[in-house]
Each structure stands twice: as C-alpha cells, then as structure tokens.
Amino acid sequence: MATCFRLRSFGAPRFPLAPPRHLRPRPGCSGLTARAAPGRAQLRSYARGPAGLSAELLRTDSFVGGRWLPAAATFPVTDPASGATLGMVADCGAAEAHAAVRTAYEAFHSWRGVSAKERSSLLRKWYDLMMQNKDDLAKIITAESGKPLAEAQGEMVYSALFLEWFSEEARRVYGDIIPTSSKDRRALVLKQPLGVASIITPWNFPSAMITRKVGAALAAGCTVVVKPAEDTPFSALALAQLANQAGIPPGVYNVVPCSRAKAKEVGEALCTDPLVSKISFTGSTATGKILLHHAANSVKRVSMELGGLAPFIVFDSANVDQAVKGAMASKFRNAGQTCVCANRFLVQRGIHDSFVKKFAEAMKTNLRVGNGFEEGTTQGPLINEKAVEKVEKHVSDAVSKGATIVTGGKRHQYGRNFFEPTLLSNVTKDMLCSREETFGPLAPVIKFDTEEEAIAIANATDVGLAGYFYSQDPAQIWRVAEKLEVGMVGVNEGMISSVECPFGGVKQSGLGREGSKYGIDEYLEVKYVCYGSV
C-alpha cells in the first residue's frame, strides 16, 4: 500500500482567458456548462491576475475512490454577490452516497494499517499543496461564499493549518497500561480508528469546516465521505484535487456534492448506512437534531458543531476602545455569518453610551460593503436572500418593540443580498434578535445594571457556543469566565479560534470538540485489552 503514496508533480494549467478543454461542457455530464456561461465569465473575471486561476482546482464532478465521477443530474452554484451561475456541479443522490460509503469502507481497511508516520507525511503534503495554491483556493472561497478576499485568504491558511496540526497529532496517539489488582494480569488500552466518517459541512467556512474534521479523521486512520453545502461545493472539490496530488490513497477522501433538494436523502444515507461509524456535522441546531435521530437507530458516534447565540458583555471596568475593537472583530467577520459571531451585546449602564457611540463610529469608519473581490471590501453579501430576510425581520421586530436604529437598518443598495452593518440600542430580552441567531451584520445592544443580571441574560438560552466579555477586574474575570454557559470564552478578546485550541459548544450548540489535542479523540475508539496468565 505504502508504495503508492507518491507525491506527484503539480503542474496545474492556468486559464486567465478561457477554460481548458476538460472543463468545457460534455454532453450528459457535469461541467462548467454552456448554460453556466455567465458564471464561467464570472469565475474567469475573478481569476484575472498575473497568474490566473488554476483550472485543475475547479472541479464539478463528485470525487469517489480517487476518480472524478459525473452524476446523472447537475445543480447550479451561484455567486451570492451577483446571482450569476458559477458552474454546474454533480447532483449526487442516495445511491451515490451509499456507493461512496462502500468505497470509503473498503479503503479504511488499508488506511488503518498505514503507519502513523506515513499518514502524517501525507497530511503534511496535502497541507503543503494547500499553501502552494493558497491564492487560488482563496479566490474559490470568495467566489462561492461571497466573503471578502482578505478573509478568504485568512480562512485558507486557517484551513490548511488543521492539516498541518493533525499531521503532527497523527504521531501522538498513545494508549495506556493500567496497573490492576491481579498479579497475573496486565491491562492495556489501545486507541483505534472508528471507521468511515460521514462529514456534513456548511457554507460559511467552505474549506476550514472540512479540514478541521477531515484532518483529525485521516490522522486517526479513518476514511471520510464529505457532503459540502449546496452553496459551496467548489472548495471541497478543490481539496479533493489536492488530496489526490498529495498521494492520499483512493477512497480515503471522498466528496459527494448535492443540491439542497437532495440534502435530506443524501444526509439520511450518510447517517444511516451501516458501514458508517461516525457522523461529524457542522451546521444549524435544527439540522443537527435530524442527524442525531438518524444516528440513534444504529448508535453511531457523533460530533455536532451547531449554532450559537454568543453574548458579548462589556462591564463598567472595561477598556472601551479595546471592547469596541473586539466587538468589530467578533461581530462583522464574514458579515456576521459565523457561529461564534457576537449575537447579543450586553453593556453595563456606566459605560453604555460611550461604547455605543464609539462602536457606531468604528462601524461607519471601518466597514465597507461591496463585492468580496473589490479592494477594501470588508462586508460581502449574505449567502442568499433568505439570510437577508432574516436580518430584516430581526431589525423590524426589534424596532416595533422599541429598539433604536443607531446606524444601518436596511438592505444595502449594492445588491440584492447585501445588508447595511446595523447597530441597535434599547434592545430588550424579548426581541427576536436577543433570542435567535441572526447570522448577519446586526449588533443589538442591551443595557444592564449588575454582573448577576448580565450573566443571567447571557445564560438564558438553550445554546452555548462562544461568549465574550470585557473587564479589567481580575476577580470579575474569574467569576464570569466560570459562570458563562458556553464552550469557549474570549476575555478581552473578540477572535478566539485557533487550530491548537478546542472548538465546540455546550447545551444545544453541540457535542464534542474539534481542533486541538482533543479533536482526534472524536475519531478514535478506546479498546481495553486484558492480558491474562502472565
């Protein structure tokens, strides 16, 4: 097996002017089709630059068993900024999902036997290729998700770092020897890979949400079938191209893209197939609950990274400028579309007016709405019209109940999927924006009087992913950090994610942790071996 793990040379063609032959439409199969002509032009225009965009990375077929496979049907992927079609992608169904699982299952039996050192070096090669192609990968992220190019470049590096991190962790999976009460026995603990992992991911981090799971899975010795979001399959497929180039063996990393109309059947196939041992999902709490039901029937291991409602508390003792800086970073990344974005700003009475004034000024000075490819854009489009409607609904509900619009408040003239960065004050606990994840550029501010009150408001929800607070009082810092019912706390810090640290939530924000030294455990089984008659 090991002999086939060769790093092939990577001479990717470039197409600043026209797509190469293999990306032109083929009758009856997927591709950047004639119907998708505006999108092709779009991708090409995005790709313009000194080097153009690597055509090798623009894939539209599913990737199973090391091969690119067209499906009977295709679905369009659109640019959220312009609404143009970027390309037509293979629309896999339950049959293709089961076939991919079977392939992954067969590959598992070889992959689990590959030495940890070799798995490590293959993941490292995959990481190196991601870094070599980082500019192109970032362009793909911006094209399909709309996020500003600078943020896409940040996601790309973050994404690649999970492969680097887990290439290192692959060699640190240790078991145990346990002293027993019997003289003639020895007790050992082995850690073994679970098997095939089904990986279902969202659109808001089209690349990083995949590598955070897949890096850990492959390092542990599992194989995977990935179902990316309908909106962002290109990043998952580009990763497949690089996995192949890195020499990751056929069947170890598989991708079955599908349209939203087929997500339910593909999801069910991936979660109920008896050959699957593990389900790892990132997305909404509502979908997570459906997948948990699927998992229950065959008692599969699950990891769930679900929605949040992050509180961002500013106490009277805080440094206001530091708090405003953290608020900007936490709230407006990806136009408010991250699961750890601050959703509710709780600001103590004594510092409230100063914070609101400075926050509004910072928003007006630093945020620029536009196409993610335009220089200087900090706020791209929301992913689709439904997302814009949700922000609109949260604003109108709050205003109808007495909130004040400090800045923003309506759709942005730039285009259909754009919304103005919005700050609301006089917000109360009963408003929708205090109770539901907005997932958009809306910052609602609730005024409070005491620490106890702030903690009570922060914890009065059935989710708990991230929480942030600003304070200069060391005793208060300990108290609040311990009392917040969340999986991750930012103290005087608005950006907390990193590959070395555990990512995950409590309550209905999920199960399990990703990244860090804990992430690999999600893909390992503990086996106790009792060695008798010694």
Please report, as ranges, the residues that interact with ligand NAP according to CB under 6 A.
Answer: 200-204, 209, 227, 229-231, 260, 263-264, 267, 282-284, 287, 290, 305-308, 339, 437, 439, 465, 505, 510
The size of the chain, in residues, is 534
> Between residues 290 and 481, which has the closer beta carbon with respect to ligand NAP?
290
Answer for the pair 383, 77: CB distance below 8 angstroms, yes or no: no
Rounded-to-integer distance, Cα 220 and Cα 169, Å = 9
> Between residues 196 and 209, which has the closer beta carbon with respect to ligand NAP?
209
Answer for the pair 226, 253: CB distance below 8 angstroms, yes or no: yes
Residue at 7: amino acid letter: L
Calculate ∠ Cα 398-400-402, nearest 5°. 70
In angstroms, what is the minimal distance from the CB of 514 to ligand NAP?
Answer: 7
305 an active-site residue? yes
* Chain centroid offset of residue 89 CA: 20
339 an active-site residue? yes
**86's tokens:** 């970027």
99: helix, coil or strand?
helix
Rounded-to-integer distance, Cα 529 and Cα 534, Å = 13
Residue nearest to ligand NAP (CB): 267
> Between residues 370 and 464, which has the closer beta carbon with respect to ligand NAP?
464
In angstroms, what is the minimal distance from the CB of 205 to ligand NAP?
Answer: 6
CA dihedral for 525, 299, 123, 517, sign (positive or negative)? negative
Rounded-to-integer distance, Cα 479 and Cα 259, Å = 46
**121's tokens:** 């070096």
Closest CA to 219 of 253, 244, 190: 253
**57's tokens:** 């990375």
In angstroms, what is the minimal distance from the CB of 188 to ligand NAP?
Answer: 34
Alpha helices, H only, 298-384: 320-332, 349-366
Do the strands 310-314 and 342-348 form a parallel or antiparallel pair, or are they unpaired?
parallel
Rounded-to-integer distance, Cα 197 and Cα 218, Å = 10
> Between residues 326 and 510, which has the closer beta carbon with respect to ligand NAP?
510
Q: How many CB atoms lie within 10 A of CB 286?
A: 10
346: helix, coil or strand?
strand
CA dihedral for 431, 433, 437, 443, sign (positive or negative)? negative
Alpha helices, H only, 112-180: 116-132, 134-145, 149-169
Q: How many CB atoms lie within 10 A of CB 351?
A: 19
Closest CA to 57 of 238, 207, 210, 235: 238
Calculate ∠ Cα 309-378-81, nearest 5°. 90
In angstroms, what is the minimal distance from the CB of 59 to ligand NAP?
Answer: 18
Do the strands 74-78 and 253-255 form a parallel or antiparallel pair, or are they unpaired?
unpaired
Say which of 339, 433, 485, 514 is annotated catalytic: 339
Say which of 164, 305, 420, 437 is annotated catalytic: 305
Rounded-to-integer distance, Cα 103 and Cα 254, Å = 9
Closest CA to 195 of 268, 102, 290, 269: 102
In angstroms, what is the minimal distance from the CB of 481 to ligand NAP?
Answer: 20
In angstroms, what is the minimal distance from the CB of 228 to ligand NAP?
Answer: 6
> Between residues 39 and 505, which has the closer beta carbon with respect to ligand NAP?
505
In angstroms, what is the minimal distance from the CB of 7 to ligand NAP?
Answer: 31
In angstroms, what is the minimal distance from the CB of 510 to ligand NAP?
Answer: 6
In angstroms, what is the minimal distance from the CB of 309 to ligand NAP?
Answer: 9
Do the strands 276-282 and 196-200 form a parallel or antiparallel pair, or are they unpaired?
parallel
Active site amino acids? 305, 339
